[in-house]
Every structure is written in structure tokens, then in C-alpha cells.
A and B are shown apart, each in its own frame.
Chain A
Amino acid sequence: MTAADDIGIRAVQEFLGKDALPDRIRCGSNNEQYVLIEEPEFGTAVSHLAANKFVLISLFCCEDFSAKAAQTLFYVFERRTSILVLVRDINGRATTIAGIYPSASWFERECRDGFGIEFEGAFDTRRLFLHETYPEGFHPLKKSFRNAPIVTRDAVNPADEYPFREVKGEGVYQIPVGPVHAGIIEPGHFRFSVIGETIFNLECRMFYKHRGIEKLAEGKSPEDCIGISQEVSGDESVANATAFCMAVEQISHMPVPERAWYLRTILLELERVCSHLGDQAGMLVDVAFPLGASQFSVLREECFRENDRLTGSRFLRGMVSLGGMNRDLSRAQLDELDAFVHQLRNRYKIGLKIVLSTASVIDRFATTGVIRPALLRPLNITGPSARASGGKVDVRINHPYGIYDRFAPHLQRLRDGDVLSRFTIKASEIMDSLDLIERLIAAIPEGEIRVGAPICDGYTLTLVESARGQNLCWVWIRAGVIERYKVRTASFGNWLAIEHAVQGNIVPDFPVINKSMNLSYAGTDL
């Protein structure tokens, strides 16, 4: 694709004028267009992009990127196949764009906590990932902060406590749920405002398990950082490791052997199958249909065991590496996987038939937790949740990476956006992934699995489609080590969707809506 064809470039030309271009635009290695933007132009640029249906998919900060300013903000926009990054130099203060892009609110709060940047005019200036127990003025992502344990506050003044949005009125009452739950699940606080059983408003508060992953990566060699990328979210290990390795490979112009990409793609799809099977089992547990749930949880466990047999890790860790794969799979292993996939598909079909022929399950799923299509763009909802609401979003199709241009999955779409749609989408994605794995095993070429090459300096942005949706990764290597590693998993955007999806539903339906969206706490709280 030439630069002039890119809809991102055309949009930029419209608000910058054609003359200003060449020195201000830089095409990244993943076809993303970096545009340096001056402060006065910024407001018009964002409104123009909003009017042209660009989605804000990430916003992150970086120190010491530009010689002219202390911090640089990267606004990443996407429309269909083009990615546009507005690069904005700032000095501790910036104007907000949350009024135009609601999804920017969490990103801006994240930058505020991490770097101490004040966003002027923001409607929400509460803390995000650093809760009120962290001391005032503590901004761990600043370069001046040395990564070390800190003393948190034991007691918080009532005045400093996190103010939840309060919905008042006759008969409205609040139900606080979490962060400690009755089951073995990750921590999150849900504040329901309820009239009777009907949910009027929900506010989620996450970030109870902040691990400082981005800070941890700084100063590490890219090789050491793969392990960190795998820990971002347990069941997205392959996806996040692939995104990270892809970024380093592109920066360093490192060739990746064909066979390695086949293996990576097999693992990526296996990971998706495991995740979707777990979701489907969970959704059935949440509507109290254990007979159906056990069909899928048994298959998921067998999938994990197969993962273990193939790679020595139930979560497929330690396989993806820079420039290829750490270990090869033998022909015998691939044949065994082929047989396993074949048998899995048959048993999955039986389970699916049981569930879809149970009227009481369909009754619970249908019309529950609808995500309206109008929300997809403002909140950057991706993955099966978006596709169940009619969204044409799949990184494998929109921004194919590796060999997905040759092995493109079918774009599965439904329109209703309810729990049933998400269940059905996941079912067809499982079938699709199983087909894909079989095709890959049949077509896999012999050869090297890893080519070494020296690490170069530079930065790039990569996108992958994890089981939950679009995962974004931005890597900046300076002097051979990681200067900045930014991850944004699909859940970061999708969490906001649930606040809208539950409105008008009843409290007992919340668990199944939550499960149907399969949101990762760890992937949100780095």
C-alpha cells in the first residue's frame, strides 16, 4: 500500500494541508503512520478524526522521546486497515480529549497516575491504577523513579476515599460487590445502583493487583522481556508474547522463518480454543446448567493437557522467542495434535448440541446483556464481544500479521449483541480455529524455527488478536534495552462495555453477562 492510498494519511492531509507533510510523517514498520502534531492543531486534528470514524485504540505516554519536551503522548487511532499515531509533545499538562473519545478517559487517568500529567478539562480526574493507599505525588513510570518497594498508606482519610458515582432517587440503593468474591476469581469492585432487582447503573473499579509490569520491563534486554510479556495475562500468554516478539523483530529487521510462523499460529489458535471453551463453560455455570458446563470444562481441561504434552506448559508458555520459536514440534507431535483436534471437534459438537437444544439456557441467554453497536467505536470494544454486536473487527483480518494473510479466518458476525450472540460467536470461532489448526498442520513447511539477528534500536507498534480481542503493544528499544514497553489488552476497552451492557438487566444476570464478555483483570491492571 502506498502512503497516498492510506485513509489515515488522507485524513491527516485534510487537516494539516498537503505541504506540511513529509518531515512530519513517519511510517512505522507495521504501516502505522506517526504524525507529529503541534499543540494548536491538536484539537482540530482529533475532532477531524472523530468525524471520520477513527477509533482511539490507545493513548500512552513516554518520557524523553522528543528533544523539545519532557513527555510525549501517543494517540493511536485506527480505522479499518490504517493506523494513525498522533505524537504530541507536552510538558506536564495537556488538554483532554475524553469529551470526544470517551475511551480516552481511562487512558488519560492511566497517564496521570503513571507520569503525573494533568489533563485539563477532564470530566474524571480520579485515580485509576494507583489506588488511594499510594502516597500523593507517586508516579512510578517516570524515569526519575527507581523501581523499588514503596510504603503504602495504611489508613486513608475519608476525604481521600474513591468517590463512586452516586445515583440517587426513591428506591435506589447501592450494592457493593468485591473486591473479594465468593468464588476463586480475580479482584474487582462492582458498585451497582439498583431499583428492586433492576440494575440502574454499574461502576467497575479494577486495578487491585497492580504489578508494575511496564516499569519492570524498562532496562531489560528484549530477550528477558518475553517472560514479562507472557505474564501480562495468563491465558493470553502466546498472544502477548507474539505481539512483543513481533515488535522487536520488526525494529531489528529480524527475519522469522516460515515454519516458526506456522507454529506460532497453531499455538495462537489453540490458546483461543482454550479460552473460548472456558468462557462457554463459565456462562453455563452462571445460568446453573452444570450438565452443559461440564461438557466444555472437560474439553478445556483436555486441551490444557494437550498443551502440556506439546510444549511442557498448560498455558503454552516459553515457546515464542525472538526471531522464531524456542522449540520445534516434531511430525509425530503434530500428527497427534491433528488427531486430538479432530476428536475435540466431534465431542465439542455433541456438547454444543446439548446446550443449544435446552430451551431454558436459550431463554437465559437471549436478550440478556446487550451491547449496542453504537458503543463499539466510542469505547473501542473489540474481539468476540464486538463481533457479536455486528462489529467488523478482527486484527487477523484487518491487520494480518505472520501468515494470517494466507490463512485468514472467516469474519464471524452477529447483530443482536446479547449473551446468546456472544456464545454463538465463540462457538463458531472455536470451529474456525480448529479448522485453521488442521490446515496449518497439513501445510507446515520444514525448515529452521529460529534465525538469530542483532537487536537494533527503534520503536514500533504491533497488534494481535487474542481470544479477548485486539491487543496492542508498543516497544521502544534504546541502546539495546527496553526503554518503554506499553501493552494494552482488549479487556482495557471491553471493561467499559459491561457498565453499559448490564443496564436494565437484573442483578442475578450480571455473572453470566460478565462471563460472556470474558474480561481479564490482570490484562487490564499491568
Chain B
Amino acid sequence: MNTDFVLYLAINTLVVIAVSPLFVSLIKKVKAWTQGRQGPSVFQTYFTLIKLLKKEVIYSPNSSRIMRVTPLVTMAAILVAALFVPLVFVPEPVGGMGNIILFMSLLALARFFMALAGLDAGSSFGGMGSSREMSISSIIEPTTIVVFAALAFVFKTLNIFDMFAISVSTGSPSLSTLILIGISLFIIIIVETSRIPVDNPETHLELTMIHEGMILEQSGRNLALMELSAAVKMTALMALLLNLIVPFGITTSLTLAGILIALILLVVKCSILTGIIGIFESSMAKKRFFQLPSLFAMAFFFSTLIIIIEVFS
């Protein structure tokens, strides 16, 4: 492992933790605007996280060790997964770093522990959240695999670092493929980050919750970790989409100026994407739970189409 890579690890982790809460607030802001409201400050998520970090953690007497380790495991898994997606600087991959299958497995690991923690406290809403999350993921995971397989076909590699390097240096593949990849990855983002029409991140209705239901029993700094890991996951997935489709700005050499420019461009690109997500969310109601597969089917269909195009063209 060279110094560049060690620097990459530090820079990527710092950047992702620093900017993720901003995008969560930005989506809220965009949604508030569509409703004619002012909405909370764009820094509200930072304030909330700081507040939560100062609060004590309360465990249900029914809960086991699972409840205690889940926030750490989730945060760790998501942070490692975020390292697989270079935000501002693409180094040479080292070892299994950047492997897209491993990336997906890390997300699955975090989700698995979150679902366990939802069941752990023994409350009915946690259990419902976990059961729903598992039902959804059993459908969305095969779809994710197909989407990632399509990426692998397009870029002829399983490594996200290489994909980014290719899209930066040689430009992107054809426009049609780009659009299809974009739609597929967009749906993956919506599902993975529990947004409308899959789940409602702002709901107070305990009976409709999925993601919120699972973390209902979390409190204090544990809740802060859960919230932050959800934000980091969203940023990583957004960066995956953006750096494949509009790769300009991301640097392959480690210079201060390059990294600063890349960082600014990343924030700008992600902000635009959060705007799109916010408008997309505002434009429709949540789907009925059992009709969700129709949304995943779209991602599945487009990815299959990419594979067919790539194989036969």
C-alpha cells in the first residue's frame, strides 16, 4: 500500500462524512420548496447529529448485545463501502478495494444488522420495519446484482476504481447506455436510501415505517451513527451514479488544487442530483407495499437491456 492510497483513505472518508449531512438537508429543502414552505436550514442535519451525539443512549431492557454493536457495525460497513466509491480522487486500486460485488455485500451487511437490531428490542414497529426491509431487499438485491453486472459489461471490469478511471480518461460509453445506467442506478438510490415511493423518510406514522421503524429504538449517539451511516450511504450511491455518467472534475492525480476543484464539483453535482431526487419524491405518493416490485422491475429491465446491447453490439 503506497502513501497515495493511505491519503486516499483519509481524504475519501473525511469528505464523505463532511458532506453527506448536507445532501440530506438539501433534499428536505427542495421538498419544502415544492410545498411552498421555507424548510429547515441546509445545515440542520449537522445540528441534529451534534445534538444526538450529546444525548444519552437508552437501551430497552429486552435488548441484547445486537442493539449495542449494530450502530458501530453499520457505520463501519457503510464507511468501508464508501471507500469503494472515490469521491474526488481515483487512486490505483489495492487488493479487493473497489470490487463492486464486495461493495454490495458491505451494504447488505449493514442492512442485515439494522434488521436484527429492529427485531432485537422486541417492539412491534421494529419487527414490522425489519420484516418489510427484508421483503424489499430480497427483491431489490437481485436487481442490484443485475444493474452492477450491466456496469461490469459496459466497463469490462468489476472494479469501481477502474470504471471511474475509464469514464474519466476515455469518456463515457454511448448516450443510450448512459441513460439506461442512469435510470437503473437512480432507482437503486431511491430504494437503498428509503425514499418515496418506497418508504417515507419524514413519516411519523409508525404503521407505515420501514427504515424509520427499524431504528425507532435507537437513541443518542447510536441514533446519530445510524442517521450518519444512512447519509453516507446515500452520498456514496450518488457519487457512484455521478462519477460514471458525468465524471468531469474527478482527479486521478493527488494534487491539492485538483482535489479542491473535484470537491467543489462533487458538491455541485450532488446538490443538483439531490434536487432531482427531491422533485422526484414530491411528484408522487408512496406506492402500495406489494406494488413495489414494479419499480424494481424497471431497474431490472433497463439493466438487462444494457447487457443485451453490450453482448450483441
Which residues of A are at the interface with B, using a C-beta cutoff of 8 A?
A: 175-177, 181-183, 197, 284, 286-294, 298, 358-361, 363-364, 506-511
Chain A neighbourhood of B282, CB < 8 A:
290-291
Judge if B253 is at the interface, Cβ distance under 8 Å.
no
A286-B124 CB under 8 A given contacts A291-B34, A358-B285: no
Q: Which residue of B lies closest to A198 (CB)?
A: B290
* A interface footprint on B11-43 (CB within 8 Å = 1, 0 otherwise): 000000000000000000001001111000000
Chain A neighbourhood of B283, CB < 8 A:
291, 358
Judge if B51 is at the interface, Cβ distance under 8 Å.
no
The stretch of B81-89, B103-111, B168-176, B194-202 in contact with A is B194-202
Chain B neighbourhood of A175, CB < 8 A:
124, 128
Judge if B156 is at the interface, Cβ distance under 8 Å.
no
Judge if B206 is at the interface, Cβ distance under 8 Å.
yes
Which of A177, A290, A291, A360 is B287 in contact with, Cβ under 8 Å? Answer: A360
Q: Which residue of B lies closest to A355 (CB)?
A: B285
List 10 tightest A-B contacts by C-beta distance, closest first. Answer: A294-B35, A288-B286, A289-B285, A288-B200, A183-B204, A360-B284, A287-B285, A508-B208, A360-B285, A291-B282
Chain B neighbourhood of A511, CB < 8 A:
205, 207-208
* A interface footprint on B267-311 (CB within 8 Å = 1, 0 otherwise): 000000000000000111111111100000000000000000000
| Min distance, Cβ B296 to any Cβ of chain A, angstroms | 16
Which of A176, A284, A294, A506 is B285 in contact with, Cβ under 8 Å? Answer: A284
Chain A neighbourhood of B60, CB < 8 A:
none
Judge if B48 is at the interface, Cβ distance under 8 Å.
no
- Among B128, B284, B285, B286, the most chain A Cβ lie within 10 Å of the Cβ of B285
Q: Which residue of A lies closest to B206 (CB)?
A: A182
Judge if B64 is at the interface, Cβ distance under 8 Å.
no
Q: Which residue of B lies closest to A294 (CB)?
A: B35
Q: By the criterion CB–CB under 8 Å, are A176 and B124 in contact?
A: yes
Main DSSP-derived SS at the A contact region: helix
Chain B neighbourhood of A177, CB < 8 A:
124, 206-207
* A interface footprint on B120-137 (CB within 8 Å = 1, 0 otherwise): 000010001000100000
Which of B128, B197, B203, B206 is A181 in contact with, Cβ under 8 Å? Answer: B206
Q: By the criterion CB–CB under 8 Å, are A294 and B203 in contact?
A: no
Q: By the criterion CB–CB under 8 Å, are B289 and A197 in contact?
A: yes
Q: Which residue of A lies closest to B205 (CB)?
A: A511
Chain B neighbourhood of A508, CB < 8 A:
207-208, 288-289
Chain B neighbourhood of A287, CB < 8 A:
285-286
Chain A neighbourhood of B289, CB < 8 A:
197, 506, 508
| Min distance, Cβ A293 to any Cβ of chain B, angstroms | 8
A506–B132 Cα distance when bound, in Å, is 12
Q: Which residue of B lies closest to A515 (CB)?
A: B205
6 A-B pairs with C-beta separation under 8 A? A176-B124, A287-B286, A288-B196, A288-B203, A298-B36, A508-B289
Which residues of B are at the interface with A, using a C-beta cutoff of 8 A?
A: 31, 34-37, 124, 128, 132, 196-197, 200, 202-208, 282-291
Q: By the criterion CB–CB under 8 Å, are A506 and B205 in contact?
A: no
A511–B266 Cα distance when bound, in Å, is 39
A508-B288, A509-B288 given. 16 additional CB < 8 A pairs? Answer: A177-B124, A177-B206, A177-B207, A181-B206, A182-B204, A183-B205, A197-B132, A197-B289, A197-B290, A284-B285, A291-B34, A291-B35, A291-B282, A358-B284, A363-B285, A363-B288
Which of B35, B36, B202, B290 is A506 in contact with, Cβ under 8 Å? Answer: B290
Which of A176, A291, A359, A364 is B288 in contact with, Cβ under 8 Å? Answer: A364
| Min distance, Cβ B30 to any Cβ of chain A, angstroms | 11
- Among B204, B284, B289, the most chain A Cβ lie within 10 Å of the Cβ of B284
Which of B37, B203, B207, B285 is A510 in contact with, Cβ under 8 Å? Answer: B207
Chain B neighbourhood of A507, CB < 8 A:
128, 207
A182-B205 CB under 8 A given contacts A175-B124, A290-B31, A294-B36: yes
Q: By the criterion CB–CB under 8 Å, are B285 and A361 in contact?
A: yes
A181–B31 Cα distance when bound, in Å, is 25
A511–B286 Cα distance when bound, in Å, is 13
Q: By the criterion CB–CB under 8 Å, are A286 and B204 in contact?
A: no
A292–B128 Cα distance when bound, in Å, is 27
Q: Which residue of A lies closest to B286 (CB)?
A: A288
Chain B neighbourhood of A298, CB < 8 A:
36
Chain B neighbourhood of A359, CB < 8 A:
284
Q: By the criterion CB–CB under 8 Å, are A290 and B124 in contact?
A: no
Q: Which residue of B lies closest to A197 (CB)?
A: B289
Chain B neighbourhood of A361, CB < 8 A:
284-285
- Among A181, A183, A291, A361, the most chain B Cβ lie within 10 Å of the Cβ of A291
Q: By the criterion CB–CB under 8 Å, are B35 and A360 in contact?
A: no
Chain B neighbourhood of A364, CB < 8 A:
285-288
A511–B207 Cα distance when bound, in Å, is 7
A288–B204 Cα distance when bound, in Å, is 11
A294–B282 Cα distance when bound, in Å, is 11
| Min distance, Cβ A447 to any Cβ of chain B, angstroms | 42
| Min distance, Cβ A286 to any Cβ of chain B, angstroms | 6
| Min distance, Cβ B111 to any Cβ of chain A, angstroms | 19
| Min distance, Cβ B39 to any Cβ of chain A, angstroms | 11
A286-B202 CB under 8 A given contacts A360-B285, A364-B288: no
Chain A neighbourhood of B36, CB < 8 A:
294, 298
| Min distance, Cβ A460 to any Cβ of chain B, angstroms | 43
A181–B37 Cα distance when bound, in Å, is 26
A507–B290 Cα distance when bound, in Å, is 11
Chain A neighbourhood of B288, CB < 8 A:
363-364, 506, 508-509
Q: Which residue of B lies closest to A361 (CB)?
A: B285
A458–B291 Cα distance when bound, in Å, is 60
| Min distance, Cβ A474 to any Cβ of chain B, angstroms | 37
A507–B124 Cα distance when bound, in Å, is 12
A508–B204 Cα distance when bound, in Å, is 12
Chain A neighbourhood of B34, CB < 8 A:
291
A359–B286 Cα distance when bound, in Å, is 11
Chain B neighbourhood of A197, CB < 8 A:
132, 289-290
- Among A182, A298, A507, the most chain B Cβ lie within 10 Å of the Cβ of A182
| Min distance, Cβ B199 to any Cβ of chain A, angstroms | 8
A361–B287 Cα distance when bound, in Å, is 8
A286–B204 Cα distance when bound, in Å, is 9
Q: Which residue of B lies closest to A297 (CB)?
A: B35
| Min distance, Cβ B275 to any Cβ of chain A, angstroms | 15
| Min distance, Cβ A62 to any Cβ of chain B, angstroms | 40
Chain A neighbourhood of B204, CB < 8 A:
182-183
Chain A neighbourhood of B132, CB < 8 A:
197
Chain B neighbourhood of A286, CB < 8 A:
205, 208
Q: By the criterion CB–CB under 8 Å, are B35 and A290 in contact?
A: yes
| Min distance, Cβ A517 to any Cβ of chain B, angstroms | 15
Q: By the criterion CB–CB under 8 Å, are B202 and A290 in contact?
A: yes
Chain B neighbourhood of A288, CB < 8 A:
196-197, 200, 203, 208, 285-286
| Min distance, Cβ B80 to any Cβ of chain A, angstroms | 32
Chain A neighbourhood of B206, CB < 8 A:
177, 181-182
Q: Which residue of A lies closest to B204 (CB)?
A: A183
| Min distance, Cβ A16 to any Cβ of chain B, angstroms | 51
| Min distance, Cβ B204 to any Cβ of chain A, angstroms | 4
A292–B286 Cα distance when bound, in Å, is 12
Q: By the criterion CB–CB under 8 Å, are A294 and B37 in contact?
A: yes
Chain B neighbourhood of A289, CB < 8 A:
284-286
Q: Which residue of A lies closest to B291 (CB)?
A: A363
Q: Which residue of B lies closest to A290 (CB)?
A: B35
| Min distance, Cβ B241 to any Cβ of chain A, angstroms | 23
Q: Which residue of B lies closest to A365 (CB)?
A: B285
A132–B208 Cα distance when bound, in Å, is 31
A426–B285 Cα distance when bound, in Å, is 20
